[in-house]
Structure 1
């Protein structure tokens, strides 16, 4: 099982769709060899060095946290059912209400679409808040997401980083 890495009053909580099998087995977020999260976070300016997955709790030192929309680990996020998202929503709302990050960032569109019952959304800042947090949707850093190169991910995350520095 993959535990949340969160505390109160963080600047950002990054929300993955669900844990990958390797991350769940290791007990560390984004530990899959092909996942680019830690590299992207560093290159976009969030961290002064690239955090290794085994040191994932270091993210708290920079004012950021990690959670997932659905707790069940899968090899691919598309293995999750609509019911799993629906049954995860109340617990997720409770968590975000308790910890109150300034920003909640969904990594990929799947969880956001499922939670907000939307068919189409754009990348970036969303028009509604979630439990008092401003919401952004950024591309998923999974190696399975071949629609975004490393440079495109860094640009997208960098734009968000520059926005929160204002």
Structure 2
């Protein structure tokens, strides 16, 4: 099974990226990540992230084992070139080419047997019956904070006075 991950418009020239790709081509992804940690080139960090993304794609989208994966293809193509100008001698301008790269990574691996993976029904815990006194509800605020609220039997309602209501810190 082939897993493809792409990195487009990388602002490093293809020649410099290819020098780093040559180090990790044909390795297992975990070995490639270990190699890239010690490569001093600037292109090593985006390639490191690309390999991690490809591994995550293989695990989550295709349910492949990470141990069986291998880098089968690591291709670096040229992207669009940004043409700029800088001042040159004697009032002239000299052209600059800011090159970009498109990197394509293809991993190959074997699919996990479906019988070895647990289905969603097997993973689910058995449903336990609970008395209504023990029931706890969870509510989220607009800010995403969670609040645990027990039934009204357990929590006494505290009444706020007229003064508190009249002199609120913020207006409604």
Would the TM-score normalized by the shorter structure come out above 0.5?
Answer: no
- TM-score normalised to structure 2 length: 0.20
Answer with 1 or 2: which has the greater Rg. Answer: 2
Task: Give the structure with the higher percent helix.
Answer: 1
- TM-score normalised to structure 1 length: 0.21
